[in-house]
Amino acid sequence: MWLYLLQLTARLEVFLGFRLRHSIIALVLALLPGVCLAQNTPKVSLDTSETLFTILASMNACGYDAELNLSDPIRKQIRGELGRAAHDSDDALETTNVMCQYYHEHVRPDPSRDLAQYISLALYLGDPPNFLPKVKEAELPPDAANVVPFAKLAAAFYERAGLHAIWQKHREAYARLADRYHEPLSKTLFDTEIYLKLPSAGYLGRGFTVYLEPMGAPGQVNARNYGNEYYVVISPAGSELKMDQIRHTYLHYLLDPLSLKYPASIKRLDPLLESVKRAPMEEAFKIDTSLLVTECLVRAVEIRAQGNSKTPEALRSDAVEKSMEQGYILTRYFYDSLIQFEKNPEGIRNAYIDLLSNVDLKKEEKRAAEIQFASNASPEVLRFSRPKDQHLLLLAEKRMSGGDLKTAQDLAEQALRNGQEDPGRALFVLAQIAAANKDMAGATGYFERALKVAQEPKVIAWSHIYLGRIFDLQEQRENALNQYHAALSTGGTLPEVKAAAERGLQQPYEPPAPR
């Protein structure tokens, strides 16, 4: 019966388009034991976006040429049209010059990060001609927040250079590019759902969109998870379709919600975070157990599903070990567990809680302790929707509160170098680390620097309080009093600031006695 249903689906897909195909997938999976379906169709699409086109075309007009020779020929053709449009009038030329000056001032040393920040911005912008942000600036991802003014400059360029006409001219060519991805994308998503025995049709209110935009570097794939929406942005070139990266993001789309359903079971595994502190993977996985667990499961599924039945086990086992060495320490556990999962009729939605519950914490901690971590890790394809967990400064503060001052210092210094986050807050963190290391001169310098650039009232007020305490310890009471008064004037509405400042005004600060 199972084989017949698959064959039937294969025949039907010849006659049905990509969007309708998911209804057939849902029908097939509904007939399988252990699978329960909602009646809603999933929001899964292959698309193009005039907003993405505008932002990336604007970058190209300013000299962005990463992997230009590897790109689809349409990119060079459009660049030529952009160049002519930019010089078509004095207004267009002036608008282009202003936009490009801003662009060149914000070029990142790493070409992948340079493109990534503009894609993050474009995904948060509304439709033309205004391209207004869909959320408040404070809610933007940090890399997008770094280039927000570019949206307004690109909107002006869109109008003066006639980008809408250029977009319309090439719509048919864009459609042909999408046709190339149509069948392999459909197969990839179908095979993924079949393996997990989990139809995306039950994911009401969530979306998965693959955008094709040839104006970017074809060697780069940018995947994002913003709230309930998952995006993959790809620049096609040649015959390479980057299905591995799409599958990786789609697995997150399917599996991320499961970890959120069982917070107690996930929290039980929190001690594993201690085992990965020195791993080379991204910091987000080191402080968020649900991210770590899901990433390990995603990688295990990828390895189990790669190749075919004749793929040597040694090849798969080597992939598991490499995943573990990067810090994804539950990959082996999930890989072994999936062997049994494949034999059972129930889908991953029903099997998931048992996968979590059956983790032997002591065994996995012991296994992790025996891993020789690699010196570096492959970059994660997907950037998650939990921006606060990925802010370098938040990570630094978490590490500092946990006593890992060296890592906290490295993260704060990196944030300061990158220039993406509040420099005042970065200096404030470095000042606290210096104070914890009993480097009073260094702490004073950092606090004073923080006061020159900080904008957050809490950071400003506490910098004054800490400086007051340092002056008290140095028996410079008058200077200390000035700092406490400054704290009250800048952050006196904050109860904890008011209390600390008033204590400092009443009597000189004395450090707590050592325990």
Q: What's the DSSP call for residue 45? A: E
Least confident segment among 105-114, 225-234, 257-266, 310-319: 105-114
Least confident segment among 62-71, 166-175, 230-239, 313-322: 230-239
Q: What does 485-501 look like in DSSP terms, one character per residue?
A: HHHHHHHTTSHHHHHHH
> Is residue 449 one of the residues assigned to a domain?
yes
Same domain, 169 and 55: yes
Mean pLDDT of 119-126: 93
Same domain, 73 and 139: yes
More confident residue, 37 or 508: 508
Looking at residue 178, its pLDDT comes to 87
Q: How many Å apart are CA 466 and CA 484, to the nearest integer?
A: 9
More confident residue, 246 or 514: 246
Looking at residue 239, its pLDDT comes to 66
Mean pLDDT of 82-99: 95
Residue 19 pLDDT > 50, yes or no?
no
Helices 457-473 and 495-506 meet at what angle, rounded to 10?
20
Same domain, 374 and 439: no
More confident residue, 274 or 395: 274
Which residue, of 378, 401, 432, is where some domain finishes? 378
Number of domains in the chain: 3
> Is residue 253 one of the residues assigned to a domain?
no
Looking at residue 389, its pLDDT comes to 39
Domain holding 431: CATH number?
1.25.40.10
Rounded to an integer, what is the distance from CA 489 to the centroid of its chain? 38
Q: Let me know: does 463 contact 428? Beta carbons within 8 Å.
A: yes
Q: Using CA atoms in the order 371, 376, 378, 384, what is the torsion angle rounded to 10 degrees?
A: 90
Looking at residue 456, its pLDDT comes to 73
Same domain, 336 and 391: no
Please report which confidence band the pLDDT of residue 13 belongs to, taking 50, 70 and 90 as the band edges.
very low
**Residue 212: strand pairing partners:** 234
> Is residue 270 one of the residues assigned to a domain?
yes
pLDDT tens across 25-38, in order? 444 434 334 333 33
Which of 137-151, 414-428, 500-514 has maximum average pLDDT?
A: 500-514
> Is residue 298 one of the residues assigned to a domain?
yes
Same domain, 55 and 98: yes
Looking at residue 201, its pLDDT comes to 54
> Is residue 27 one of the residues assigned to a domain?
no
Q: Let me know: does 227 contact 64? Beta carbons within 8 Å.
A: no
Same domain, 133 and 85: yes
> Which stretch of DSSP H or E encloses residue 211?
strand 207-212
Residue 369 pLDDT > 90, yes or no?
yes
pLDDT tens across 280-301, in order? 988 778 878 999 999 999 999 9
Same domain, 54 and 168: yes
Least confident segment among 115-124, 179-188, 343-352: 179-188
Same domain, 301 and 416: no
> Is residue 420 one of the residues assigned to a domain?
yes
Same domain, 320 and 415: no
Rounded alpha-carbon distances, angstroms, from residue 452 to 229, 244, 490: 39, 47, 13
More confident residue, 109 or 489: 489
Same domain, 353 and 435: no
Looking at residue 514, its pLDDT comes to 63
Mean pLDDT of 263-279: 91
Same domain, 357 and 413: no
More confident residue, 261 or 372: 372
More confident residue, 53 or 207: 53
Q: Considering the chain, what is the average pLDDT of its residues? A: 84
pLDDT tens across 152-209, in order? 999 999 999 999 999 999 999 999 988 888 888 899 999 999 999 987 555 656 789 9
Please report which confidence band the pLDDT of residue 492 belongs to, taking 50, 70 and 90 as the band edges.
low
> Which residue range forms the structural domain that includes residue 281?
262-378
Looking at residue 465, its pLDDT comes to 93
Residue 348 pLDDT > 90, yes or no?
yes
Q: What does 335-388 look like in DSSP terms, one character per residue?
A: HHHHHHHHHSSS-HHHHHHHHHHT--HHHHHHHHHT----S--PPPSEEPS-HH
Least confident segment among 1-5, 123-127, 213-217, 349-353: 1-5
Q: How many Å apart are CA 238 and CA 251, to the nearest integer?
A: 25
> Is 0.85 surpassed by the pTM of this model?
no
Mean pLDDT of 488-513: 83
Which residue, of 339, 356, 378, is where some domain finishes? 378
Q: What's the DSSP call for residue 137? A: G
Same domain, 275 and 351: yes
Looking at residue 119, its pLDDT comes to 94
Looking at residue 152, its pLDDT comes to 96
> Is residue 320 one of the residues assigned to a domain?
yes
> Is residue 256 one of the residues assigned to a domain?
no
Looking at residue 156, its pLDDT comes to 97
Residue 122 pLDDT > 80, yes or no?
yes
Looking at residue 26, its pLDDT comes to 44
Residue 385 pLDDT > 70, yes or no?
no
Looking at residue 11, its pLDDT comes to 35
Q: Let me know: does 63 contact 100? Beta carbons within 8 Å.
A: yes
Looking at residue 384, its pLDDT comes to 60
Which residue, of 378, 404, 433, is where some domain finishes? 378
